A and B are shown apart, each in its own frame.
Chain A
Amino acid sequence: MTKKFKMQDLDCANCAAKMEMLIKKIPGVEDASMNFMMQKLTLTAPDDRFEEIVREAQKVCTKVDDGCLILR
C-alpha cells in the first residue's frame, strides 16, 4: 500500500532528506519519499504492517527534528 501523509512543522530541507534516508532503512519499507516543498511523505509498505511502520517513521522524524509530526 502506498499512502501520502501531510507533515507538520517540517522546517528544514536537510532534516527532510535525513528523515527520508532513515525511513527507507526501516525494515519493511518498500519506498519512502519526503517531499519538503509539498510537506508530504509518501510511504510504501506492506498492508499488514503499515500502521506499525508509520509509527516507526514518526519515531525517526522525532529523532531528526523534535516536533515534526506525521499527520494522519
Chain B
Amino acid sequence: MTKKQKKTLVRILITGAVFAVLFVLEHAGAFASLPPLLTVWFYLAPYLLISYDVILKAVKNISHGTVFDENLLMLVATVAAFAVGEFSEALAVMLFYQVGELFQSYAVGKSRRSITDMLDIVPEYANIEADGQLTQVDPDEVAVGTEIVVLPGERIPLDGVVTDGSSFLDTKALTGEPVPRSVNAGDEIVSGCVNGAGTLRVRTTKAFENSTVTRILELVENAGNRKAKVENFITRFARVYTPFVTCCALLLAVIPPLFFGGAWTDWLRRACIFLVISCPCALVISVPLGFFGGIGASSRLGVLVKGSNFLEALSQTDTLVFDKTGTLTKGEFRVTAVCPESGSEAELLEFAALGEGFSTHPIAHSIREAYGKPADLSRVADVEEQPGLGIRAKIDGKPALLGSGRLLDAENVAYLENPAAGTVVYLAAEGRFLGSLVISDTAKPGAKEAVALAKRLGVSRTVMLTGDRRRAAEAAARELGVDEVRAELLPAGKVEAVESLLQAETGRGKLAYVGDGINDAPVLARADVGVAMGSMGSDAAIEAADIVILDDDLRKIPATVRIARRTMGIVRANIVLALAVKALVMVLGALGLANMWMAVFADVGVAILAILNSMRTLRLGKTE
C-alpha cells in the first residue's frame, strides 16, 4: 500500500469504529431524547474526518469549472441526507464511498504490479570486457557491434549473435516455452532470455531501444491505448450517465413536491439515492481492468496482444485463415514415406542415398538426411543427373534409376504409381522397380491439434492459403483438418483471397489470419486480426501483426481465443451487473422503495464486485 492509501485506511478505521458506536447508541435509543440539532454534531465530526478530501476536491474542481464531478455529487447527496435527518446514512455513504475508492486504487495497483512482475524481463546491465576485466554498464549505452559477455544465470541484455561459447537459454519469460533452447557460436539470440550454465560472448546487433525486450514491454504497456469497442461504448455512456442521473435527481427533488403536493423531505431522500449511484465508476474501471488482465494473461503464454480491440475481435473470430508453408508446416522437406516393392525400407533408403549421393538438389539433401549416415560413395559410378527427371547412375556396377515416373517410363520400367501428395521419387535397378519415396513438407507439431481446438471453440471456417500445387495442398489440409484450400496462389493472391473471405463474413464474425510474418505483412494488415507466429526478434512481424505469438506453437491460438472469450465474458458480465443493479435501485428509489443502504451497495458494492470479477482475468490461462 502507498502512503496515501495507508492514510485513507486509518481514516476509514477510525470513522468505522465511531460509526459502529453511534449506530449501536442510536438503535438503543440513546439519541431519542436529544434534539436533532445536538445529535447531528456526533455525526458531523466523523463525517468531516472521512470526507475532508472529498470536500476539498469538490470545491477545487468547481473553481476549475467542472460541474458533474463525483466528489461534488457525493457531497451534495450526503449534505442532503443530513438535511432530511438521515445522519447515520449520510455518514455511511461517505464511509463506504471511501472504502470503495481505497479498494479500487489498491486493486488497480495490485493488478498493475502483477503484470509488471510478470514482465520482469528488463536486463539491468551488460558486461563488457576491457583489459581482461568485466565491467557492468547500462545496456542503453552499449553501441551496436560491441562484444558483450553473458555469464551463467544472467539475462541477455541485448539482441546479438553468439561469437563464442555454448549454453542453453531459458526463454520462458518471453515465450512461455518451458524447454530451454540450445545456442552455439553463430546463433542469433534475443534479449530477455536467461542464460543457462555456459558463458557466452555475444556481438550485439541492436541498440537497447530496438532490442526485443524493450519492444515487447512497450507493446504490452501500450496495449491499453487501443481501446476495444465495448470500452469506448462505456466511456461514451459514462459521459451521459452522470448528467442524466443528476438531472433525474434534481427533477425528483423538485417536481413532485412543487406540483403534486409531495413532502419535501421524502422526495429529497429519493433524490439522494440517485445522486449516490450517479458515479459510473464500477463500469469505467472494471472494463479496462478486465482487458488489462486478459492481455497480461496472454503475454504470460508468450502471446503479445497489441490492444484491447484485438482481444475483442479475436473473441468473435469465426474464420481462421492460415498460411501453409512456415505456419502450418515447417517449410522443410523431409522423406515422409518409404514404400519398398520388395525388401526392407532401410535397403531402399540406402539405395536412394547412394544414388543421390552426389546431387545438390534439395530432394537429394532430404534423402541423405533421412538415411542419416554417410553413404559409401565409392559404390557409385557414372552419375548422370537429368534436370526435372532424376538420376541415372551405376550402383555396385548395376544400372540404377532414381527419379520421376517419366524417367522410368523412358526406360520402359514398369512401376507402381504412388498416389501420395508431395514429390515422389521412384527407384529402379537393372530395369526392375524397387519402390518409391515420398518427400513432403512436414506439419508442425501441434498444428493438427490447434485446428481441432479452434473448431471446438466454434471457429466455423478454416482456410489454408498456399502457393503449392492443388493436390499437395489438399492433402496437407486433409491431414491437418483444415476445411478449405486456396492453392497455387501468388503472394499478391493471398491478399485477394483474404479480401474475398472478408466479404463473405456476415454479422459480428471476425476473420483472423495466421502467418509467419515474413512476407505476408499486407495480409496481416488486411485481416480483422493478423497473427504472426514464431517471430521472436522479427521486427517486421511485430510491426505488421496485431497479435504476435513469440514461439512456434500454433496451439496458443485457440488458447488465446479462449482467454479473449473469457475476458469478454467477464467484461460483459460486469456491465450487465452494474447497469442492472443501478437501474433497479433507481426505479425502486424513485418509487420510494429503496433506502440509502441499497444505494451504497449499488455504488460501492457493485464497484467492488466488478473489480474482483475483472481481476479474475489476471489468472486466465494459468489453470490451463
A56 to B502, CA, bound (A): 43
Contact yes or no, B221 A38, CB < 8 A: yes
Residues 30-64 of B, flagged 1 when their CB comes within 8 A of A and 0 if not, give 00000000000000000000000000010011001
- Chain B residue contacts of A63, Cβ below 8 A: 61, 64-66
Q: Is B522 an interface residue (CB 8 A)?
A: no
Q: Is B443 an interface residue (CB 8 A)?
A: no
Q: Range of interface residues on chain B?
A: 20 to 34
Q: Is B70 an interface residue (CB 8 A)?
A: yes
Partner of A64 from B66, B111, B235 at Cβ < 8 Å: B66
Contact yes or no, A67 B57, CB < 8 A: yes
Partner of A37 from B101, B239, B288 at Cβ < 8 Å: B288
Given the contacts A12-B281, A12-B285, A13-B288, A37 and B224 also touching, CB distance less than 8 Å: yes
A36 to B235, CA, bound (A): 13
Given the contacts A17-B235, A37-B289, A42 and B281 also touching, CB distance less than 8 Å: no
- Chain A residue contacts of B222, Cβ below 8 A: 35, 42
- Chain B residue contacts of A9, Cβ below 8 A: 4
For A38, A39, A42, the residue with the greatest tally of chain B CB atoms inside 10 Å of its CB is: A38
CB distance from B26 to the nearest CB of A (A): 32
Contact yes or no, A12 B65, CB < 8 A: no
Residues 263-301 of B, flagged 1 when their CB comes within 8 A of A and 0 if not, give 000000000000000011100110011001000000000
Q: Is A30 an interface residue (CB 8 A)?
A: no
Q: Range of interface residues on chain A?
A: 20 to 34
Given the contacts A11-B105, A14-B284, A17-B238, A66 and B64 also touching, CB distance less than 8 Å: yes
Contact yes or no, B112 A38, CB < 8 A: yes
CB distance from B101 to the nearest CB of A (A): 8
Partner of B224 from A21, A35, A62 at Cβ < 8 Å: A35
Residues 381-422 of B, flagged 1 when their CB comes within 8 A of A and 0 if not, give 000000000000000000000000000000000000000000
- Chain A residue contacts of B239, Cβ below 8 A: 18, 21
- Chain A residue contacts of B22, Cβ below 8 A: none
Interface hits, B54-85 → A, CB 8 Å: 57, 60-61, 64-66, 69-70
For A13, A18, A65, the residue with the greatest tally of chain B CB atoms inside 10 Å of its CB is: A13
Q: Which residue of A lies closest to B226 (CB)?
A: A33
CB distance from B120 to the nearest CB of A (A): 15
A14 to B240, CA, bound (A): 12
Given the contacts A14-B279, A37-B112, A66 and B60 also touching, CB distance less than 8 Å: yes
For B115, B281, B284, the residue with the greatest tally of chain A CB atoms inside 10 Å of its CB is: B284
- Chain B residue contacts of A66, Cβ below 8 A: 57, 60-61, 64
Q: Is B453 an interface residue (CB 8 A)?
A: no
A72 to B285, CA, bound (A): 26
Q: Which residue of A lies closest to B65 (CB)?
A: A63
Main secondary structure of the interface of B (DSSP, over half): helix
Contact yes or no, B285 A13, CB < 8 A: yes
- Chain A residue contacts of B235, Cβ below 8 A: 17, 21
- Chain A residue contacts of B284, Cβ below 8 A: 12-14, 17
Contact yes or no, A38 B281, CB < 8 A: no
Q: Is B225 an interface residue (CB 8 A)?
A: yes
Interface hits, A37-66 → B, CB 8 Å: 37-40, 42, 62-66
Q: Which residue of B lies closest to A59 (CB)?
A: B64
A68 to B272, CA, bound (A): 28
Contact yes or no, B111 A37, CB < 8 A: yes
Q: Which residue of A lies closest to B56 (CB)?
A: A66
Contact yes or no, B64 A14, CB < 8 A: no
Contact yes or no, A36 B57, CB < 8 A: no
Contact yes or no, B288 A14, CB < 8 A: no
- Chain A residue contacts of B111, Cβ below 8 A: 37
Partner of B288 from A11, A18, A21, A36 at Cβ < 8 Å: A36
Residues 1-32 of B, flagged 1 when their CB comes within 8 A of A and 0 if not, give 00010000000000000000000000000000
For A11, A17, A64, the residue with the greatest tally of chain B CB atoms inside 10 Å of its CB is: A17
A55 to B344, CA, bound (A): 81
Interface hits, B92-113 → A, CB 8 Å: 101, 104-105, 108, 111-112
CB distance from A72 to the nearest CB of B (A): 18
Contact yes or no, A62 B112, CB < 8 A: no
Given the contacts A13-B288, A14-B281, A40 and B238 also touching, CB distance less than 8 Å: no
Q: Which residue of B lies closest to A39 (CB)?
A: B112
A59 to B66, CA, bound (A): 12
- Chain B residue contacts of A14, Cβ below 8 A: 70, 238, 279-281, 284-285
A62 to B289, CA, bound (A): 24
A11 to B108, CA, bound (A): 10
Residues 1-44 of A, flagged 1 when their CB comes within 8 A of B and 0 if not, give 00000000101111001100100000000000101111110100
CB distance from A1 to the nearest CB of B (A): 15
Residues on A close to B: CB < 8 A?
9, 11-14, 17-18, 21, 33, 35-40, 42, 62-67
Can you list 7 A-B pairs, Cβ within 8 angstroms, ordered by A? Answer: A9-B4, A12-B104, A14-B285, A21-B239, A38-B224, A42-B222, A63-B61
Q: A12-B285, A66-B64 are in contact. List 5 more A-B contacts (CB 8 A).
A: A13-B289, A33-B225, A38-B112, A38-B224, A42-B225
